[in-house]
A and B are shown apart, each in its own frame.
Chain A
């Protein structure tokens, strides 16, 4: 899970971060005020959990709760207020502000860990919505025959599986017609449409059989049409942000040549050579977010995730990312949002090949942060870039610790 710790007291912040880091599998972002905490929820990938101090500069913990709850997020994060206030009145005020729970300070590590476990069991936590639909489709495929029901508010979809392949898909709010279905290869006049439908209703024969028998389409053309139809429906369903899914096993008719492997519809990443490379800061006049500047890998490679997981417990680290400078692809990112323009400068500095002396690392000190970048020994094209809080570490310590990860 992505966990944001918002605490203005550096000692308390480090203790909280350490406790959360002791539980494997969490990306931790530490911020020192309520405004920064709220900003993390407006990022491309909002956090799963926010641990909020009650009294912070900028916005108080309860105010952050209220504002987060008002955001149109696909999945609302778990909000945990930590406070020295423990009166009944305060607890009620915190819960009424939208917090899921309150913990009294000083925080008992085991209680915090228990709350994180609770948060991780909430529906949808730890997976992004589109991934959740894909995961449900994959599980349905493994079931063999049946239909996957997908529902979000008044939109419902059905994806029919036959022998683990997709035979049909539909979405309730999509005005799909026979004309739409066959439009990729043929045009139908209204009279033929009406006749085909009447025949289906009268004989009970599948639409596909009638279309072929009547010579409207051959099976190869029908396959093309079906594929385009299913592709469109699945794209719509994958766009649902917070859908519930249910697989209903059942036997249905199907045909090998008119059913499709799920992976046919889950487009792989385009080849790297087709990706745009990262434009320099001067190419854009508007401030950019990290996700606007870098092409984000949707599902990071496990080795990338493992490397970032190794980096995030480094003392004072606020964020780390692995970037391919030639393509502008961010292979993985953990921690707070990064400034893409500083990152670009750091990365480009390492990427310049016409250099007399090879450069091992880039270092930069800003008012609040140390920025450190290394080329990876095991993957020469990838650059590991990390940002450290100046108040929590020294530049030498940050450099040494990150170097050990980059060269390992």
Chain B
């Protein structure tokens, strides 16, 4: 599966962790993964916009909570770079550090740009493999 992802994507997405997740999901897991990746990819722009809006309003508590919540998704989908960025945003927000939170959010969006394609490729490949095998 790893050869399907580019070098940059490999730094963003933990393919080995995705493999473990996929095995744990059992039969039909790839189809679920496709759904979840699509859900994640389609929801992220709104989440990101909400984070920017909350930051602009100085609503640090809301930013921290939302970053934490997003980190749960990125963690489950093994998007390491996004999880790290979420953590930066969350910690900065808790500290009331606007500049550091903005930097973290930019890093988060940059990581998403790479991760979305990598996740979709991974999930689609896994699904194809499932379809072929069954």
Binary flags per residue of B58-101, CB closer than 8 Å to A gives 1, else 0: 00000001001111110111100000000000000000000000
Give the nearest-CB partner of A57 in chain B.
Answer: B65
Binary flags per residue of B31-72, CB closer than 8 Å to A gives 1, else 0: 010001001100000000000000000000000010011111
- B44 CB to closest chain A CB (Å) equals 11
- B50 CB to closest chain A CB (Å) equals 15
Most chain B CB within a 10 A radius of its CB, from A9, A106, A109? A106
Give the nearest-CB partner of B29 in chain A.
Answer: A18
Interface residues of A in 92-140 (CB under 8 A from B): 105-110, 113
* Neighbouring A residues of B20 by C-beta, 8 Å: 108-109
Number of interface residues of A (CB under 8 A): 21
In the complex, which of the residues A8, A9, A14, A108 contacts B24, with contact meaning CB atoms closer than 8 Å?
A108
* Neighbouring A residues of B73 by C-beta, 8 Å: 9, 11-12
Binary flags per residue of B4-41, CB closer than 8 Å to A gives 1, else 0: 00000000000001001101111001001000100110
Does A53 contact B72, Cβ atoms closer than 8 Å?
A: yes
* Neighbouring A residues of B26 by C-beta, 8 Å: 22
Q: How far is B26's CA from A8's CA once the two chains are assembled, in angstroms?
A: 23
Does A9 contact B36, Cβ atoms closer than 8 Å?
A: no
| Interface status of A15 (Cβ within 8 A of chain B) | yes
Most chain A CB within a 10 A radius of its CB, from B24, B39, B78? B24
Does B39 contact A106, Cβ atoms closer than 8 Å?
A: no
Q: How far is B45's CA from A175's CA once the two chains are assembled, in angstroms?
A: 71
Q: How far is B78's CA from A177's CA once the two chains are assembled, in angstroms?
A: 70
Q: How far is B29's CA from A66's CA once the two chains are assembled, in angstroms?
A: 35
Does A15 contact B75, Cβ atoms closer than 8 Å?
A: no
Does A15 contact B36, Cβ atoms closer than 8 Å?
A: yes
Does B36 contact A84, Cβ atoms closer than 8 Å?
A: no
Q: How far is B65's CA from A109's CA once the two chains are assembled, in angstroms?
A: 25
| Interface status of A145 (Cβ within 8 A of chain B) | no
Task: Specify the main secondary structure of chain B where it touches its partner.
Answer: helix
| Interface status of A10 (Cβ within 8 A of chain B) | yes
Does B17 contact A106, Cβ atoms closer than 8 Å?
A: yes
- A368 CB to closest chain B CB (Å) equals 17
* Neighbouring A residues of B77 by C-beta, 8 Å: 11, 106
Does A15 contact B69, Cβ atoms closer than 8 Å?
A: no
| Interface status of A55 (Cβ within 8 A of chain B) | yes
In the complex, which of the residues B21, B23, B29, B71 contacts A84, with contact meaning CB atoms closer than 8 Å?
B71
* Neighbouring A residues of B69 by C-beta, 8 Å: 8-9, 55
Q: How far is B32's CA from A55's CA once the two chains are assembled, in angstroms?
A: 25
Does A55 contact B25, Cβ atoms closer than 8 Å?
A: no
Q: How far is B38's CA from A152's CA once the two chains are assembled, in angstroms?
A: 53
Give the nearest-CB partner of B33 in chain A.
Answer: A15
Give the nearest-CB partner of B71 in chain A.
Answer: A84
Most chain B CB within a 10 A radius of its CB, from A8, A11, A109, A110? A11
Give the nearest-CB partner of B17 in chain A.
Answer: A106
* Neighbouring B residues of A110 by C-beta, 8 Å: 24
* Neighbouring B residues of A18 by C-beta, 8 Å: 25, 29, 32
- B79 CB to closest chain A CB (Å) equals 10
Does B25 contact A22, Cβ atoms closer than 8 Å?
A: yes
Q: How far is B21's CA from A108's CA once the two chains are assembled, in angstroms?
A: 7
| Interface status of A19 (Cβ within 8 A of chain B) | yes
* Neighbouring A residues of B70 by C-beta, 8 Å: 9
- B92 CB to closest chain A CB (Å) equals 16
* Neighbouring B residues of A14 by C-beta, 8 Å: 32, 36
* Neighbouring A residues of B39 by C-beta, 8 Å: 10-11
Known: A19-B24, A106-B78. A12 touches B29 (CB 8 A): no
Interface residues of A in 326-346 (CB under 8 A from B): none
Does A11 contact B76, Cβ atoms closer than 8 Å?
A: yes
Q: How far is B76's CA from A9's CA once the two chains are assembled, in angstroms?
A: 10
- A349 CB to closest chain B CB (Å) equals 32
Residues on B lying within 8 angstroms of A by beta carbon are 17, 20-21, 23-26, 29, 32, 36, 39-40, 65, 68-73, 75-78
Knowing that A9-B70, A15-B21, A106-B78 are A-B contacts, what are 6 other residue pairs whose CB atoms are under 8 Å apart, sorted by A's residue number? A11-B39, A11-B40, A11-B76, A11-B77, A12-B73, A12-B76
Sorted nearest first, the 5 A-B pairs with minimum C-beta distance are A109-B24, A9-B72, A106-B75, A11-B73, A22-B26
